[in-house]
């Protein structure tokens, strides 16, 4: 089986390492950075340097593939529109000329917007608030509507990503001892890299289609997580200034029931501090 990873960064690389273990998968990975080619050649049979707007390049990469993972994120100085939407539109055109049977796209739970902390699932309407959120919403729509009659499209809406080299302590240590706006009661909605890889492989193997949220079971608030990180790593505690409103741009508790009902078992249902 031929698999392509468009955008082989933190998530794409981890997925490539997993797929490399399966002797039956031939991996093609893309990067925009020529200096990354050597590194990626350790985890993919073929590495291609391309921008998501490169129609001929994408047609050539996607030709003969069975499954494609789209996992791009903007590099410094790049816009959401160029990175997500333009790449999705170009991928759609290239897929229409291919025999690909499955597309998996890593989206984000932040699309739900401010739901005042209530529990949301995949049926809940998204409420993008910023221009970038609207672009991410449009990116999902392009992939879902343009390709629905052609192949299985699986959208995984990820929570905040942590894992090896992106440990919670690295993410939160810079705010240790500081005062944060709000009370920290918003649901934090994290997902471990191992589960992102696990769910992407599950989606590939079982040909999942439609939208699936991917967060862990921990259901902790930002304050609970920051308190635990500071306690476990012996860092000064964070205090909260309730006279200011929170700077968090989305506030919803995310249900992960749909992907669990499909049969996916979380590797890290609780958070690793």
Ligand X SMILES: NC(=O)c1ccc[n+]([C@@H]2O[C@H](COP(=O)([O-])OP(=O)(O)OC[C@H]3O[C@@H](n4cnc5c(N)ncnc54)[C@H](OP(=O)(O)O)[C@@H]3O)[C@@H](O)[C@H]2O)c1
Q: Which residue is closest to ligand X by CB?
A: 9
- Considering the complex, state which of residue 16 and residue 100 has its C-beta at the smaller distance from ligand X: 16
Pick 59 or 82: Cβ nearer ligand X: 82
List all residues 6 or more positions away from 267 whose beta carbon is below 8 Å from its beta carbon: 192, 194, 195, 198
Measured CA distances, 188 to 137, 173, 249 (Å): 20, 16, 11
- Measured CA to CA, the distance from residue 1 to residue 177 in angstroms comes to 51
Residue written as tokens 């291919």?
98
The answer to whether residue 82 forms part of the interface with ligand X (CB under 6 A) is yes
Measured from the CB atom, the residue of 2 and 31 that comes closer to ligand X is: 31
132 near ligand X, judged by CB under 6 A: no
Could you say which residues in the range 184-223 bind ligand X, by CB under 6 A? none
**252 lies in the site for ligand X, by CB under 6 A:** no
Give the per-residue contact string, 22-61, with ligand X (x = CB under 6 A; - = no).
---------xxx--x--------------xx---------
7 binds ligand X (CB under 6 A): yes
Shortest spacing between CB 100 and ligand X, in angstroms? 17
Q: Residue 79 contacts by C-beta under 8 Å, 6 or more apart in sequence? A: none
Minimum distance from residue 70 beta carbon to ligand X (Å): 8
b/e map 172-187, b = 16+ CB within 10 Å: beeebeeebebebebb
Q: Which residues contact 68 (CB under 8 A, 6 or more apart)?
A: 3, 4, 5, 6, 62, 91, 95, 100, 102, 103, 104
Q: Binding ligand X by CB under 6 A: which of 18, 73, 144, 267?
A: 73
List of residues contacting ligand X (CB under 6 A) = 7-12, 31-33, 36, 51-52, 71-75, 78, 82-83, 87, 106, 108, 158, 160-161
């Amino acid at each position: 089986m031929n698999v392509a990873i468009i955008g082989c960064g933190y998530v794409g690389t981890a997925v490539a390492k997993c797929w490399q273990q399966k002797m039956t998968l031939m991996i093609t990975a893309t990067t925009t950075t020529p200096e990354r080619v050597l590194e990626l050649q350790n985890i993919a049979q073929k590495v291609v340097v391309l921008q998501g707007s490169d129609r001929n390049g994408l047609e050539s990469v996607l030709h003969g593939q069975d499954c494609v993972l789209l996992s791009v994120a903007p590099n410094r100085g790049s816009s959401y529109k160029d990175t997500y939407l333009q790449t999705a539109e170009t991928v759609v055109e290239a897929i229409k000329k291919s025999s690909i049977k499955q597309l998996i796209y890593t989206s984000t739970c932040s699309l739900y917007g401010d739901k005042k902390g209530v529990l949301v699932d995949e049926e809940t309407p998204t409420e993008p608030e910023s221009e970038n959120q609207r672009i991410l919403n449009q990116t999902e729509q392009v992939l879902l509507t343009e390709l629905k009659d052609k192949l299985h499209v699986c959208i995984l809406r990820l929570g905040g990503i942590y894992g090896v080299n992106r440990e919670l302590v690295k993410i939160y240590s810079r705010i240790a001892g500081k005062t944060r706006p709000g009370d920290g009661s918003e649901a934090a909605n994290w997902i471990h890299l191992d589960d992102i890889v696990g769910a992407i492989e599950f989606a590939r193997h079982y040909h999942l289609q439609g939208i699936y949220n991917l967060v862990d079971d921990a259901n902790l608030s930002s304050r609970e997580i920051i308190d635990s990180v500071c306690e476990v790593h012996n860092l000064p505690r964070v205090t909260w200034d309730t006279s200011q409103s929170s700077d968090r741009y989305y506030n919803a508790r995310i249900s992960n029931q749909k992907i669990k009902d499909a049969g996916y078992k979380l590797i890290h249902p609780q958070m690793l501090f």
